[in-house]
Amino acid sequence: MRFDLLTLFPEIFAGFLGQSLLKKAIDRGLIRVHVHDMRDWSRDKHQKVDDRPYGGGPGMVLRVEPVVECAEDVQLQGAERGHVVLLSPQGRRLTQAIVEELACHRRLILLCGRYEGFDQRVVELLRPDEVSVGDYVLNGGEVAAMVVIDAVMRLVPGVLGDENSHRDDSFSSGGRLLEFAQYTRPREYRGLHVPDILLSGDHEEIARWRGEQSYCKTRERRSDLLPGASAGDLDREETDNTKRPADG
Ligand SMILES: C[S@@+](CC[C@H](N)C(=O)[O-])C[C@H]1O[C@@H](n2cnc3c(N)ncnc32)[C@H](O)[C@@H]1O
């Protein structure tokens, strides 16, 4: 899968791209990330890309020409034009379902705003998928783009060593449940014990316990997720649990 990042601050991504799972995925050729500095498309001799808002008001607005021309050139750089995502607090709020949808694309072009955001004609011309990472305002789209990449890459086949790893994750499997409680060694710490069931080796019972845990936790913390959930969710279909904690 290919990601193209359009930004005014390319250096922000250096640490992110050079660490952990993402670095491994890039090294293995599963993910490609290209970072483009929108200033390179500025027509201004000082590489200025922003200007004052028409109608007055505070702050600066990203000009339409460098953004649109950068996006159009970048689209032509790949075998396919890609799905254009514009990070914006006004976009549809990111959920695991949207992450799954985005992961179906082979190429995502992520537009990171700054200042007061983009000139509206960027939206009219590029017709991007406007995505928000939550109801709050960030200084720029870079962190939001990292959120999108981080969530989407987990779904790219081969990126997580074990393809089952995200199966039980919160919001996965239809987005209705939070994940059950997880434990690892030691069996006891400061008087707190790992539940006996997880040490029983009875995978069917463990699956049932985890299903109940998921359901109860969701009801307690995020009952808004539950209306579509049925009692059947209590019994997980899969009993062969690959995410078993190690014996202590
Ligand atoms: C300071 S914000 C501009 C906010 C804009 N004036 C508004 O009120 O909608 C600058 C940039 O940060 C990014 N950004 C801020 N909050 C975001 C969010 N919740 N989700 C995604 N991107 C966000 C966008 O790319 C935005 O263009």
Q: What is the pLDDT of residue 240?
A: 38
Nearest to 154 by CA among 206, 216, 99, 79: 99
CA angle 86, 47, 5 (to 5 degrees): 30
Q: What is the pLDDT of residue 38?
A: 98
Distance 221 CA to ligand 1 centre (A): 28
Tokens standing for residue 78:
């790949």
Q: What CA dihedral angle connects 25, 28, 31 and 33, to 10 degrees?
A: 90
Asked whether 62 lines ligand 1 (CB < 6 A), one says no
Superfamily of domain 165-248 in CATH is: tRNA(m1g37)methyltransferase, domain 2 (1.10.1270.20)
Distance 137 CA to ligand 1 centre (A): 5
Residue nearest to atom 20 of ligand 1 (CA): 132
The residue annotated as part of the active site, out of 65, 72, 100, 116, is 116
Q: What is the pLDDT of residue 98?
A: 97
Domain boundary assignment for the chain: 2-153, 165-248
DSSP output for 151-190: HHHTTSTTSSSSTTTTTTSTT-TTTT-PPPP---S-SEET
Q: What is the mean pLDDT of each run of 10 residues along the chain (248 residues)?
A: 98 97 97 98 95 98 98 96 98 97 98 98 98 98 98 96 80 83 98 98 98 95 79 44 37
Does the pTM of the predicted model rise above 0.75? yes
Report, in this order, helix, strand and coil percent for the chain, each rounded to 5: 35, 15, 45
Whether 205 is catalytic is: no
Q: What is the pLDDT of residue 175?
A: 65
Residue nearest to atom 26 of ligand 1 (CA): 113
Asked whether 120 lines ligand 1 (CB < 6 A), one says no
Long-range contacts of 53-57 (CB under 8 A, 24+ apart): 53/116, 57/116
Q: What is the pLDDT of residue 139?
A: 98
Q: Is there a contact between 156 and 25 (Cβ–Cβ < 8 Å)?
A: yes
H or E element in which residue 144 lies: helix 141-153
Whether 65 is catalytic is: no
Residue nearest to atom 18 of ligand 1 (CA): 89
The residue annotated as part of the active site, out of 63, 89, 168, 179, is 89
Phi-psi region of 181 (alpha: psi -120 to 50; beta: other; left: phi over 0): beta
d(CA 204, CA 240): 8
Whether 106 is catalytic is: no
Q: What would the CATH number be for the domain defined by 2-153?
A: 3.40.1280.10
Please choose from 52, 61, 88 the residue to mutate so as to test ligand 1's pocket, defined by most ligand atoms within 8 A of CB: 88
Residue nearest to atom 15 of ligand 1 (CA): 138
Q: What is the pLDDT of residue 247?
A: 36
